[in-house]
Amino acid sequence: MDSHGQYEQQVVWTVVGTDIGPLLLAATPEGLLNVVFHATDAVREKTLDRLAGRLGTEPVEAPDSPLLAEAIRQVKAYFAGERRDFELPLDWSLISGFNRQVLRELASGVPYGAVVGYGDLAGRVGQPGAAQAVGVAMGSNPLPVVVPCHRVVERDGGIGGFGGGLETKRKLLALEGVLPEPLF
């Protein structure tokens, strides 16, 4: 308990090297909390400050934490082509409402190697016509890769946007066999 009689949330983090660059993984006792692309020093600092502000506790760098061990193992296996599905407890506390509903549907309903349109995903959660809102939900996804927002594309076959950058989205879709591997 902290000095105000409230329980502080334990948050641990580490950075994992991947084929798309360094990913910051943060977890709580509830599960994986955050995955952040391009985890340079500046990005890490901004992310950790944001998490501290949202959760009321300083995240602790703990690459050997049991809270992170399985997430690290599964992320490495995914990028090695040895894992198609993540089977991790997730801490959804950074997102709520419609965005959480959409991301949960995405996580459970769009398998490895498949894609879904923004509008189609909106329809799946009972909000046909909310394609733009789905785009906002994808942009606010605190768990990219694990909750596969890279699998959401435009209706006309366009790749759509992506918080990690379009090249990262292309690499993830190529890893899953949706797009050909980049030539260079």
Distances (CA, A) of 87 to 73, 77, 165: 11, 12, 25
Distance CA 96, CA 141 (A): 11
The answer to whether residues 102 and 90 touch, using CB atoms and an 8 Å cutoff, is no
Catalytic residue among 71, 146, 149, 153: 149
How far out from the chain centre does Cα 179 lie? 20
What amino acid is encoded at 34 in this protein? N
Query: Catalytic annotation on 149?
Result: yes
Number of H helices, E strands in the chain: 6, 6
CB atoms within 10 A of CB 165: 14
Is 32 exposed, middle or buried, given 0-12, 13-18 or 19+ CB atoms closer than 10 A? Answer: buried
Beta strands in the chain (DSSP E): 12-16, 23-28, 31-36, 60-61, 116-117, 152-153
Q: Which residues have a catalytic role annotated?
A: 149
